[in-house]
Each structure stands twice: as C-alpha cells, then as structure tokens.
Chains A and B, each alone.
Chain A
Amino acid sequence: MKEGKHEELTLYYKGLIYSNLENATAIVTKEGNILSTNRRWKVMSKFLGNPSFLLKSNNLFKTFLSKNIILESDIEKLEKIYHWITDNKSKSFDLEIFIPKFGIWANLVLKKIDLNLVSITVKLDPKKHYKSFFDSSALAFILTDTEGNILTFNPTAIAHTIRFFNRRIQNSENIYSYILTTNKKSFEENFSFAKKGNRVQMEVQFYVDIDEIKYYLLNINPVSGLSNSFQYFTFELIDITHTKEIENQLFHTNLILKEASQVANLGAWYYDFKIQKLTLSDDVYRILHLNKIENPDIKLNFISRNRNFKDSILTAINECLTTEKEWDLELPYELQNGNLIWIRSLGKPIKINNNAIRLVGIIMEVTDKKNQDIERGKLINDLIFKNKELLQFSYILSHNIRAPMANILGLISVIEHNNISPHNQKVLELINQASFKMDDIIRDLGHILNLKDTNVNKELLQFKTIYDSTLSILSNKIIETSAIVTSDFKSEKYVYCLKSYLENIFYNILSNAIKYKHKDRILEVHFRTYSENNYIVLSAKDNGLGIDTVFFKDKLFGLYNRFHDHIEGKGMGMFMIKTQVEAMGGYVEFESTPNIGSEIKVYLRK
C-alpha cells in the first residue's frame, strides 16, 4: 500500500471514528497496531491510567497481556476473533470482556473496515459490573416498584421461590404473593415505612415442608430514583434459620434453667482465683434475703448477721483450697425477721491442668426438707420407743397375764363337783364363762401384737383349702343357723400369704356373717376371688343385717366396736382382719346397706 493513499484513508476513518461520540473507538491494523483513535478512546485510556499500548502506533495484543489489563482468556478470545475478521471469516463480532483492575465489564465491538483495517469500539458497562455481584450473591435480591411489582431478581431469588413455592419467580409478579399470611401484616407496615425512605428489617418464615420452617431476615431498602422519590425497592433475604434455631434452643434452655433454679430454690455462684472475683446469681441474693450488691467479696462480708453460717462456709472454702475437698453442708440461717431457714451449700474446685482456677457451687433453701428430717427423726425415735414398749407389753401379756388366766381356767377345770350347792354350781359356771371370754381377749391381743415381719412365713396357699377348714371349724354354727355358704375360687385359686392370717381372715368373715345374720331370712354367704391391679381380692357377700357404713365409717374397723347391741360379740373380728391384711401390705374395703347385706373385699398383694 502506498504511503499517500494510506494517509488519505486514515483521514477518512478518522472522521468516521470521531463522529462516534458515544463510544471509544480505535482503528487497528491487521497486525494489531493502533492506527488511530477518537477522543473517547483517549478519555478511556486516561481512565485506565494511560497505558502506552492504548496509544497510537502500539500493538494492542502484545501489550494487553503483560499489563494485566484484561484476563488472559479474554486476550486469547480477542486474538482469535481478530484473526477471524482479518481472515475474512467474519465481518464483525461482539465480545464481552472483564477488566479486573476496575471490576468493569466492557463490550468490545470489532468491525472489518477493509483488508487491512479493523475498528474496535469499547462500550464500558458499569451496570453489568454491579449485576454480577447480585447474581453471584448467596442472598436473594428482588427489585420492585412502589406497588411491589417485581422488576428483576437474582438466581438465588429464583432458587428460593422454587424451593419454598414450587415455582419460578417472574417479572411483573407481585412481591406480596411470596409473603405468607402470618407475615403479611408486619410486611405491609414495614413496606409502607420503607416507602417513606427508611431501610427496614423484619423476620419472615417460609415452609420447606409442612413441618420444616425456615427463618429469614428481610431487608427492604428504598432505591432513590431520579426525582428523589422512592420508586424502587430491593428486597434482600438472609437465611437466619440456624441462628434462629440456636436462639430458640438457648431461649428454652435458659427458660428451663431459670425455672429449675426457681423450683429448686437454687442459687449459683463461682469464684475466679485469677481475678479474685466472686460472682453470684440473682437467686443467691433472693434465697438469702439480701440486697444485691456490686462487688461481693469472698470473705462473705455481704452476709449480715449469721456469723456461724459465714464461718462454716469460710472454713469449707479454706479446706477446699488446701485439700481440694468438695463440701456439702446444711446450715441454719437467720432472716432479718428472726425466722430461721435452712440453707444447703455445695461447692467444689474446678481444675485445669491440675490447677484449681475456680470454686463453683450452689446454695438452696432446704428448710422444709430439714424440718421434715428433724420431724422424721423424732417420729422414728418415738416409734422405736413405742415398739419396744409394745414388745414388752406383748411379752407381759403372753406370760405374766396369760399365765394366771391359764391358772384360773385350769383350776376351774379340775373342780370336783360333788358336794357343791346348785347356787355355787351356777356361780362356778359363770366364773368359767367370764374366764373363757377374758382368755379369748388375751389371746387375740397377743395375735395383734405379734404382727411383725410378715414376709418370713408367707407361703403359697390354696383358697379352697383354707375355706374348707373354716367351714369345718364353724360347722356347728352353720348347721345351727342353716346358713348357705357358697364359694367360687376359679378366677384366683392361690395366694402367697401367711397361713394363720388367711385362716383368721376367713374365720372372722364367716363368723361375723353368722353373728350378724338377718333374723327374718336364711343367711347366704358367697365367697369369691378375682384379680384387680396388683392385688388378689377375696370378696364375701352376705344378705345379713348390714350396717350404715356412712354413719359408722370411723368405727367400722375399730377395736371392740360393735354395731348391733342385741348380738353377742367381742367386736374384734373386723379389727383383726384389717390389721392382719395391712400387715401383709393389703387393704380392706367394706360395703354395706342396712337390712340388705354386706360385702367385704380383702385386697391381698400378689
């Protein structure tokens, strides 16, 4: 090409590119040398720090790389495209490149001018730059107008709507359609507040599944438009589910701890050796009825009065410091009003690398427990004493009282009845009766007092056997009264029980039934057994006199109580049954209606 022709052309193109006022344009030779540039190009060069390769007569490609203006991959692309154009494979091409130094995207438009020349136009695109940030963000961004109509959004926003709503967010949808009913009210308030130009923050929830809830922080930011009014809003969603869950857990843990410490009436404290600081929980002050103070000291000067209380704890602390012994003390503590409460103090050292660095402990009020302990102690002593007395009495009864009784009975039995007047005969007979009655009572009392250690002699007993022997013992009376006695032990045939007790229970039930039979009808008694919870129940139902159980409630099982004056009896039966059943860990229920009959239920432990 001739030099003159070239000059001419250059001028022509110069005019061409100068006329392009909007964008920076350069004319580049086939080899990549810059032939000519317009004003915009020069401004751009200045903006990029006036790199020499952008100036006239420098080679564009060779220097691009060394100056790190654009990415290596972009240079390769650029060179390839450039050659496509110079080799006539393509007339023009658009290429997007990134300028890392400034974080700007640029659009390069390459156009073939003639065989040897190419024009390159650079359109800088700052918007594209910011959009890339939005697009790569893990936060969801949505831009709306004042009505909440969606204008644009980033890929994370798409992912969210798919996840939570099973659909893809669209332009021209309304942001309201993505707010759950539960959040709607507060959303409306916040949105209208944002319309006044405030940045607002609120919490919203979305459901992943019916039972999996996700928590988000929603920032609504007004974006000022041209006329200074707020026409656009960005909605920014930040996932706070994890934080929220921890917060919830902490809240509950804290709540539980607080409640627990209140319920247990428990205060916590610790002492840090390094900074020599004693820290007390509010409950410590509350429990000790003290006003909270700024810096409680380890000498416990903040505790007023109660010298002994203080000394005991200080001694424990000192001992703990020297021997690392934990302590657990129950100490009396006098309140301002003179009332005495009991405080339990526990403490121990916390060690790191074998060095005690802290003392930690709790205090709690144990007044009730302590009083109960004291009460229980008294009661136990009392009971032991009473029991000893009873044993003694039992012995006296069994020997010292029973022996002369036996003597009297023996003597009466060996009286020779010849030569006794009828009157004396009668007197002797009455003495004999009275003596037998008395002996019965002594024997019964002996049985009652011998109720102890009932587990030792328990054995597996058959109800039928005991029942039969009871019938034979009472056969005379049964025949005498024509009583009809029936039984059904099919449901529960056996019971693990003391034989003498069960015999006694059967005996007393049946003899009571006979004793208190109704004079107008033949006595019917039915025995049966069944299972109820942990008990085997022996029930006996009769059609006897019955009593008013409500009226006689308290006296029913009393010793020597009788309910029917016209009937002879000691009134011991029910008392004996109750005492013996209870001694074996069972209980007795009694139901009765006057003139109808009674049912006694004996609950025996399985």
Chain B
Amino acid sequence: MKKIALIIDDDKINNFVCEFLINKYVPNVEIVSKTSSSDGLKFIREQSKNISFLFLDLNMPEYDGWDLLELMKTENLVHFPIYIISSSVNTEDIHRSKKMPEIKNFFVKPLRSEDFDKINFGIN
C-alpha cells in the first residue's frame, strides 16, 4: 500500500502547486489534500500510521496550524515528519517552529523544487 503525503491548507491554489511538485519529486506516494484543520485531524486520526509526511499551513480559520499540532501531540498522533509551509515571513513563527522537534523544516510559500532536497520522506 502506498504511503500518504498529506497537505493541510485552506489555500487551494497552494495545494495544487504542492500536489504538482510532490508528484514530480516524490515517487510512490498518494497525495491527500485537506482544506481545513478539522478535516485534516479527522484524516490523521484514521490514517496516522500510513502517513509519510505532512505539509502543514499555519494560518487557517477555526483552529490554526499551531492548534492542530497541539491536538495531534495530545492524541499522540505524530508518527511522521511535519513540514510547515506558510506564506508568513514572520520570524516569530520561524523561531517557534524551530523549538518543536516534530517540525523538521519551515518553508516559505511558494514551495520550490529546491525545498525537496531538504525533505526526508522516510520512504524506502
């Protein structure tokens, strides 16, 4: 069974770009995009073991990326590397993410092909 690359972001255009790039650079993954935190969380609860990595946006309605991270941690759902993809150039967000070991890297949108050099997909 194929591992899953999960994208949680309310920005559908970004999801489109991400899907394209993952398709191009990451072989053998099934891409799933969720456009809200709650949908994303629901999916993670079901498929936690099968997720290869997560691209997580920070700025979302309802609860944002940080909230989602907290929820995942309390429910012990983090079994995969998490990459933040944010349009924010706010250094505060970058510093905060550096303090969390679950977060492997912080990418400022748009995601570029070079960024994939820095991703460890844990596949193979």
Residues of A at under 8 Å CB distance from B? 394, 398-399, 402-407, 409-411, 413-414, 442-443, 446-447, 450, 457, 500
Residues of A within 8 A of B108 (CB): 406
| Chain A residue nearest in CB terms to B21 | A414
B89 and A403: CB pair below 8 A?
no
B31 CB → nearest A CB, Å: 14
Task: Given A399-B59, A414-B20, verify A409-B110 contact (CB < 8 Å).
Answer: yes
Can you list 24 pairs linking A and B with CB atoms under 8 Å apart? A394-B90, A398-B87, A398-B89, A399-B59, A399-B87, A402-B88, A403-B59, A403-B109, A404-B13, A406-B87, A406-B110, A407-B11, A407-B14, A407-B17, A407-B110, A410-B111, A413-B112, A413-B113, A414-B17, A442-B89, A443-B89, A446-B90, A447-B89, A457-B95
Residues of A within 8 A of B90 (CB): 394, 398, 446, 450
A410 and B14: CB pair below 8 A?
yes
Give complex CA distance A402, B20 in Å.
21
From B16, B110, B112, residue with most partner A Cβ within 10 Å: B110
Query: Chain A binding site: helix, strand, loop or mixed by DSSP?
Result: helix
Residues of B within 8 A of A404 (CB): 13
| Chain A residue nearest in CB terms to B57 | A403
Residues of B within 8 A of A403 (CB): 11, 14, 59, 87, 109
Q: Which of B14, B20, B113 contacts A406 (CB 8 A)?
A: B14
Query: Is B76 an interface residue, CB under 8 A from the partner?
Result: no
Residues of A within 8 A of B109 (CB): 402-403, 406-407, 409-410
A413 and B89: CB pair below 8 A?
no
Residues of A within 8 A of B14 (CB): 403, 406-407, 410
Q: Could you count the A-B residue pairs with CB atoms below 8 Å apart for me: how many are there?
A: 60
Residues of A within 8 A of B91 (CB): 450, 500
B110 and A398: CB pair below 8 A?
no
A398 and B88: CB pair below 8 A?
yes
Residues of A within 8 A of B17 (CB): 407, 410-411, 413-414
Give complex CA distance A405, B13 in Å.
11
Give the top 3 A-B pairs by smallest Cβ distance, nearest first: A410-B110, A406-B109, A410-B17
Residues of B within 8 A of A500 (CB): 91
Task: Given A410-B13, A413-B110, verify A399-B20 contact (CB < 8 Å).
Answer: no
One digit per residue, 1 when the CB lies within 8 angstroms of any chain A CB and 0 when it does not, for chain B 49-67 equals 0000000000100000000
Give complex CA distance A413, B16 in Å.
12
B61 CB → nearest A CB, Å: 11
Contacts beyond the supplied A402-B88, A406-B109: 4 A-B pairs with Cβ under 8 Å:
A398-B88, A406-B108, A409-B110, A443-B89
Give complex CA distance A493, B113 in Å.
39
Residues of B within 8 A of A457 (CB): 95
B84 CB → nearest A CB, Å: 13
B26 CB → nearest A CB, Å: 15
Residues of A within 8 A of B20 (CB): 414
Q: Which of B96-124 contact A (CB under 8 A)?
A: 108-113
Give complex CA distance A405, B109 in Å.
9
Give complex CA distance A394, B16 in Å.
27
Residues of A within 8 A of B112 (CB): 413
Residues of A within 8 A of B95 (CB): 457
Residues of A within 8 A of B11 (CB): 403, 407
| Chain B residue nearest in CB terms to A402 | B87
A411 and B13: CB pair below 8 A?
yes
B89 and A402: CB pair below 8 A?
yes
One digit per residue, 1 when the CB lies within 8 angstroms of any chain A CB and 0 when it does not, for chain B 71-97 equals 000000000000000011111100100
A579 CB → nearest B CB, Å: 15
| Chain A residue nearest in CB terms to B94 | A500
One digit per residue, 1 when the CB lies within 8 angstroms of any chain A CB and 0 when it does not, for chain B 1-37 equals 0000000000101101100110000000000000000
B105 CB → nearest A CB, Å: 16
Give complex CA distance A584, B13 in Å.
39
Residues of A within 8 A of B113 (CB): 413
A405 CB → nearest B CB, Å: 8
Give complex CA distance A486, B11 in Å.
47
Give complex CA distance A403, B17 in Å.
13
Give complex CA distance A403, B113 in Å.
18
From A394, A402, A405, A447, residue with most partner B Cβ within 10 Å: A402
A399 and B88: CB pair below 8 A?
yes
A459 CB → nearest B CB, Å: 12
Give complex CA distance A184, B49 in Å.
114
Residues of B within 8 A of A447 (CB): 89
A194 CB → nearest B CB, Å: 94
